[in-house]
Structure 1
């Protein structure tokens, strides 16, 4: 049987799978980025055991990605960083997604309890 900490880590992984695969491809520009950040956070926080989600779409990365001919781009992992905190049976897990060598790396930052 998995431990409660392992279950909490698994739950955090599911949240990141949802964040990444549900929202990748969403049209985004500078005007819509803040609203999209909030929408993603709220959608992830609706899931069981999630106590906090934070998403940052980086303006400088967005500048480089926006196609001037159409005025927007599609949301992609390298454009954003995220943190998700999950609590399960007294165990807290902090997970992060950060750009590392051009790749949006997701990882467990800490496990408590």
Structure 2
């Protein structure tokens, strides 16, 4: 078995993007949310991830129609689901910029994390 020691900035940027989106998903799904608190939850998620290493920008949008359709009639809130999230993330590691996303894919019926773009910057 041989060891590969030549990891690139791109390898590390992709890894970091995946870690950030996975942490976001697993940390925040299940959070209580309603139409009054959705703005502050979006902001809390974005600010939480933005302080992590290599993050250049992040936008978080939560689907208000999904919230509206899932509100508990007695208590007036629901739980944040992965299918409600629309996240765009930009990471810079060394000379590599990665744009990644987390969006609900209706065809797959799954909140899919995806690399959108990789670019080298000098």
For the aligned pair, the TM-score class normalised by the smaller chain equals: over 0.9
TM-score under structure 1 length normalisation:
0.96
1:14-69 Cα distance to aligned partner (Å, 9 max, x none): 10011101111110000100000000000000100001111001111111121112
4+ residue stretches of structure 1 with deviation over 2 A?
A: none
Gaps of at least 5 residues in structure 2 are 1-5
Q: Which residues in structure 2 correspond to 1:1-113 (within 5 Å)?
A: 1-101=6-106, 102-113=109-120
TM-score under structure 2 length normalisation:
0.89
Counting matched residue pairs gives 113
Gaps of at least 5 residues in structure 1 are none
RMSD: 0.9
Whose radius of gyration is greater, 1 or 2? 2
